[in-house]
Chain A
């Protein structure tokens, strides 16, 4: 129990500290921080719109947070979730368009597979590059993000574009739509795009937990992450683990495509991602690279994202950019854990916890 409390304490301090710094910034530009924070946080708690939209916004963040988590557990930094989710979302839409006439029984699993496999493929590329050539996954995933975005933009523009000024594909078949949760939950209107993908995200959290902590593969990934040379000495093929972890990571990021294409827009929309891949880094770090932590921090960032719209509309000076600012400060504080250790002068407090 004390272990859990200690685990929660540090992210909590980081969030509170970020809100204090953000509050000072809001004061400096001449608004009342309390009013701004009320707008930012309060709107998320209303039923059904606030909660519905917050959970909808949390869905892609849970997927990308898990993606970054799996990478981290293997000692890899996947900055490429953004590119992986773009490739996957396009692949999902491609299957949904190409096989539009199939029945839902066939098309839904096919689209799921497209999202997962395309994400896994794009994630495996930097894994292979690292395993085979030793080139750093951070640089390669950054580069692959840009390549992915250009590639799907090309396919959208030249091959699958819906006529009109917006760069988006034509619609996917009806059989590829997944239901909004409003259909099953009384009081939740169906217009709110919260959909089955949210349930999938929660299932993914359980599966990631079971995979990493209850299977041999997961054990080998974590062993590689915590001490690669010991893992290799113990007979684990590090190269295989790197490729596997990156593929799993990419697959998880790719599942954002399910939420976006099958549950929300029913097409691929160019540039749809609101930095989900990068926010995933914040989600994983703040969640201490644990699936439960990922859910909690994804919810926090989703609250901020949803509240940002209200801040934009109802406060005089503060814009929704405050969300991005808070996010940056939170990660900075989480990263510079030693800062708090130094500030509190209590070396034992956070020593055990590793980023």
Chain B
């Protein structure tokens, strides 16, 4: 009995960590190139809504049957890319403040899904329920965890990764060495959009079977926290996501309060706080230091 309980806890940790891993790895590519990504939440919302809406429409309107969730997944990536492209153009082309435009993207994406679902599905912010056979509960988990070593390889063993890190640390030097700062940053932000889009898709057509209003409920920010907690490195970030997924799994399974061996209860709210408190502590440098990329958040001004 105890073992079954543990297995189910491990499984639900994996499942809950999956959207975090996807978004956090995406955020890593963006932030290591020097572009802050507080817009992960908005990109996940875009992915989650698009995946559910397109999966529904692909079957209902175009009769794609069991292929529809795959269309939905691709559409979610495209939606993430689209939002990321807007973000990239404002931040890189027009050198807008990255935090301000990130906040704008988030606010915008709180509204867009409700706005569109009100128009298309005449509902107040949710998409129609999808049948069980049109869900993809497992593939995104494999994608997420397979992407961890792949991201590591790309980041530390390819010329692209080297350039990305160089641009995030010392854009002037990278520029002088003939690397296009703009192009690298566009790539970083777009990768983040695509991955956060998949992460969002997993929420609506993997974990559940429809999009509901504000369904990410702060997961984009938890992913950001995991990225910082993981010191902007792929494997550490994955471990942070697993830890945060675990706290979420515990707070679900315990329903209300966690029993300590001594018989005392820990209210669920305190379990929910763990990721955020840990992030503040690690950012303050109490548990090893977590240092952001040097040029993070600074628009690059090419010297004339």
Which stretch in B6-14, B105-113, B145-153 binds the other chain? Answer: B105-113
Do residues B38 and A321 form an inter-chain contact, with CB atoms below 8 A?
no
Q: CB of A349 within 8 A of chain B?
A: no
> Which residues of A lie under 8 Å from residue B116 when comparing CB positions?
29
B94: which of A281, A319, A323, A342 is its contact (CB, 8 Å)?
A342
Do residues B111 and A332 form an inter-chain contact, with CB atoms below 8 A?
no
Q: Is the interface of A mostly helix, strand, loop or mixed?
A: helix
A281 to B120: give the CA distance in the assembly, Å.
Answer: 30
Report A249 CB to chain B, min CB distance, Å.
15
Q: CB of B225 within 8 A of chain A?
A: yes
Q: CB of A136 within 8 A of chain B?
A: yes
> Which residues of B lie under 8 Å from residue A129 when comparing CB positions?
280, 283-284
Please give the number of chain B residues whose Cβ is less than 8 angstroms from any Cβ of chain A in the complex.
50
Q: Which residue of A lies closest to B107 (CB)?
A: A328
Do residues B101 and A321 form an inter-chain contact, with CB atoms below 8 A?
no
Q: Give the contacts of B164-217 with A (CB-CB under 8 A).
A: none
Number of A-B pairs whose CB atoms are under 8 Å? 164
A136 to B285: give the CA distance in the assembly, Å.
Answer: 12
Q: Which residue of A lies closest to B118 (CB)?
A: A319
> Which residues of A lie under 8 Å from residue B107 when comparing CB positions?
275, 278-279, 282, 324, 327-328, 331
> Which residues of A lie under 8 Å from residue B115 when comparing CB positions?
25, 29, 318-319, 321-322, 324-325
> Which residues of B lie under 8 Å from residue A150 when comparing CB positions?
269-270, 272-273
Q: CB of A285 within 8 A of chain B?
A: yes
Q: Which residue of B lies closest to A279 (CB)?
A: B107
> Which residues of A lie under 8 Å from residue B292 when comparing CB positions?
136
Q: Which residue of A lies closest to B213 (CB)?
A: A321
Contact digits for A280-318, partner B, Cβ 8 Å, 1 yes 0 no: 011001000000000000000000000000000000011
Do residues B119 and A332 form an inter-chain contact, with CB atoms below 8 A?
no
Do residues B96 and A335 form an inter-chain contact, with CB atoms below 8 A?
yes
Which stretch in A40-48, A106-114, A138-146, A234-242 binds the other chain? Answer: A138-146
Report A281 CB to chain B, min CB distance, Å.
5
Do residues A338 and B118 form an inter-chain contact, with CB atoms below 8 A?
no
Q: CB of A135 within 8 A of chain B?
A: yes
A154 to B273: give the CA distance in the assembly, Å.
Answer: 11
Q: CB of A192 within 8 A of chain B?
A: no
> Which residues of A lie under 8 Å from residue B250 when comparing CB positions?
none
Q: CB of B143 within 8 A of chain A?
A: no
Q: CB of A79 within 8 A of chain B?
A: yes
Query: Contacts A142-B38, A157-B267, A324-B107 given: A285-B280 contact, CB under 8 Å?
Result: no
> Which residues of A lie under 8 Å from residue B224 when comparing CB positions?
139, 142
> Which residues of B lie under 8 Å from residue A153 when comparing CB positions?
269
Report B41 CB to chain A, min CB distance, Å.
10
Q: Give the contacts of A318-346 with B (CB-CB under 8 A).
A: 318-329, 331-332, 334-339, 342
Q: CB of A184 within 8 A of chain B?
A: no
Do residues B118 and A143 form an inter-chain contact, with CB atoms below 8 A?
no
What's the interface size class on A, roughly? 35 or more
> Which residues of A lie under 8 Å from residue B228 when comparing CB positions?
139
> Which residues of B lie under 8 Å from residue A146 when comparing CB positions?
218, 221, 272-273, 276
Query: Contacts A144-B276, A342-B94 given: A317-B119 contact, CB under 8 Å?
Result: yes
> Which residues of B lie under 8 Å from residue A326 when comparing CB positions?
111
Report B86 CB to chain A, min CB distance, Å.
8
Q: Which residue of B lies closest to A329 (CB)?
A: B108
Do residues A154 and B270 form an inter-chain contact, with CB atoms below 8 A?
yes
Do residues B111 and A327 form an inter-chain contact, with CB atoms below 8 A?
yes
Q: CB of A20 within 8 A of chain B?
A: no
> Which residues of A lie under 8 Å from residue B276 when comparing CB positions?
143-144, 146-147
Q: CB of B124 within 8 A of chain A?
A: yes
Q: Which residue of A lies closest to B267 (CB)?
A: A154
Do residues B283 and A336 form an inter-chain contact, with CB atoms below 8 A?
no
Q: CB of B133 within 8 A of chain A?
A: no
Q: CB of A105 within 8 A of chain B?
A: no
Q: CB of B34 within 8 A of chain A?
A: no
Q: Which residue of B lies closest to A331 (CB)?
A: B104
A338 to B108: give the CA distance in the assembly, Å.
Answer: 20
Q: Which residue of A lies closest to B90 (CB)?
A: A336
Do residues A138 and B100 form an inter-chain contact, with CB atoms below 8 A?
no
Q: Give the contacts of A13-50 with B (CB-CB under 8 A).
A: 25, 29-31
Do residues A328 and B109 form an inter-chain contact, with CB atoms below 8 A?
yes
Do residues B280 and A332 form an inter-chain contact, with CB atoms below 8 A?
no
Query: Contacts A318-B119, A319-B115 given: A332-B273 contact, CB under 8 Å?
Result: no
Q: CB of B277 within 8 A of chain A?
A: yes
B221: which of A142, A151, A157 is its contact (CB, 8 Å)?
A142
Q: CB of A133 within 8 A of chain B?
A: yes
A338: which of B96, B103, B106, B109 is its contact (CB, 8 Å)?
B96
Query: Contacts A321-B125, A325-B115, A338-B96 given: A332-B101 contact, CB under 8 Å?
Result: yes
Q: Give the contacts of B86-141 with A (CB-CB under 8 A).
A: 86, 89-90, 94-97, 99-101, 103-116, 118-120, 122, 124-125
Binding site for A on B (CB under 8 A): 36, 38, 86, 89-90, 94-97, 99-101, 103-116, 118-120, 122, 124-125, 218, 221, 224-225, 228, 267, 269-270, 272-273, 276-277, 279-280, 283-285, 292
**Can you spell out 18 A-B residue pairs with CB atoms less than 8 angstroms apart?**
A29-B118, A77-B99, A129-B284, A136-B283, A139-B228, A142-B38, A142-B224, A146-B273, A154-B267, A281-B100, A319-B124, A321-B112, A324-B110, A325-B108, A328-B104, A332-B90, A335-B90, A336-B90
Binding site for B on A (CB under 8 A): 25, 29-31, 77, 79, 129, 132-133, 135-136, 138-140, 142-144, 146-147, 150-151, 153-154, 157-158, 275, 278-279, 281-282, 285, 317-329, 331-332, 334-339, 342, 355
Task: Give the 4 A-B residue pairs with the shortest CB-CB distance, closest first.
Answer: A328-B108, A324-B111, A29-B119, A319-B118
Known pairs A278-B106, A281-B103, A337-B96 / 15 extra A-B pairs, C-beta < 8 Å:
A29-B118, A132-B284, A133-B285, A139-B228, A140-B280, A150-B269, A154-B267, A154-B269, A317-B122, A328-B104, A328-B107, A335-B97, A336-B101, A338-B94, A355-B96
